[in-house]
Amino acid sequence: MLTGSALPCGFLPLRTRRSYRMPQRTQYRPPTRVSVMPPVIKNLLILNGLFFLAQFVAAETLARSSMLASVLDLMPLYPPGTAGPDFWPWQLVSYGFLHGSFGHLFFNMFALWMFGVQIENRWGSQRFVFFYFACVIGAALTHLAFVSAPIPTVGASGGVYGILLAFGMMFPNQPIYIWFLFPIKAKWLVAGFGALELYSAVTGTQAGVANFAHLGGMVIGFLLIQYWRGKLPVQPDRVMRW
């Protein structure tokens, strides 16, 4: 039973209902949950580890004609139109799950975790995974644009360099300890890596290293972040700020 001017819970007076408007969200608001092992990074670490184990099994215990070895042979990135193995579209992604050695795997995964945790916690998993694979694909396309040698390319470095670039943009003054002893601000670390990769790519002083892929991951990451921040002529639906 209602008394006076009381209204049932959940109802508004007619005038109030007409003037009420839902606020429009014009800025991206990331989640606030923090984790030392967010889901995308955790799954990437597991998948890269499993693929490296598969590489080891195929190389050490199975014949090169085995089904596992045949599948793995189709995963590295090969330039199209060369005398080597064929290029397939899935290689733009699959190459990022293979590594040439345990050291290659370890340092890529350590850097992914070290720099990626804060970014995935800040952006959320959906945006983070899109960014990571955009950098992986962008790195592959950049490598193919500049390198035509029929040599297989493997490694998650393109995506990791994109994550490193994002970390330097989001946390420019956060100190990074080289060898756990010498602090350097993140922005200078990123600038140093970028300059080193550019020099090595132009001069070819680092044989066997896909320097153009590293640069491509950084460039694609920078352009994507600038798009999300509304800094490019094409504007996103929601502007991301930090």
Length reported for the chain: 242
Domain 35-231 fold? Rhomboid-like fold (1.20.1540)
Indicate the average pLDDT of the chain: 85
* pTM higher than the cut 0.85: no
pLDDT attached to residue 7: 39
For the stretch 134-192, pLDDT in tens is 999 999 999 999 988 888 999 999 999 999 999 999 999 999 988 778 899 999 999 99
Measured CA to CA, the distance from residue 76 to residue 172 in angstroms comes to: 34
List beta partners, residue 135. none
Q: Which of 228, 214, 230 is nearest to 108 (CA)?
A: 214
Give residue limits of the domains in the chain. Answer: 35-231
What are the catalytic residues? 157, 214
List beta partners, residue 183. 177
